[in-house]
Structure 1
Amino acid sequence: KCCPNTPQRKVPRDIDEDARDVARALANTPAYERSRHRRKKVEMLFAHLKRILKLGRLRLRGPKGARDEFLLAATAQNLRKLAKLRAMPSHGPAAA
């Protein structure tokens, strides 16, 4: 009824739809969920560096300067984590 002058009807499909199908299939795997969780953790660390430690703009010039500055910021971030872990009091009978 809708296409009286054509022998068959065609359903248009995007050129990239095959790649999307593969991506949709991978999105339901446990490995993808683990990868997604790890990516979120890394993105949160970058956001913390940029917002809290004011590393939105690098001050040292060149690739080596950027690497050094980022390494120092990451070291500071790891030291802060370590200090928080050490400062946590232990609870229970073995703590005394």
Structure 2
Amino acid sequence: MVKFATAVSLIALTMAPAALGKNCKGSLMYCGRGLLNKGNYYDQIIEALQGSGQPTDSAHVNNSLFFCKSDGNIIFQAFCQTSGCINGGADHSDYC
């Protein structure tokens, strides 16, 4: 039984960093395409766009700006229509 518990603990430890790495970082703004590269945010992006009365076409999915809450959920902020959504770099917010 101890070997099984140890194996489960090791698996959990090796998976934890991967799971954490796929979440957006709370308090930062992200372009939709950045969220899609980070993890499985497509459904959340669609929900956030619909909840704000925005279209859900690929331009809006990729070039909208979303605020990342501390729990990993996102909130639509703006559609970056003019110059597109710009990656702000690691540990910096993206912007229009």
TM score, norm. by length of structure 1: 0.30
Tell me which of the two structures has the higher relative contact order, counting C-alpha pairs closer than 8 angstroms and 6 or more residues apart. 2
The structure with the largest strand share of the pair is 2
TM score, norm. by length of structure 2: 0.30
Which is greater in Rg? 1
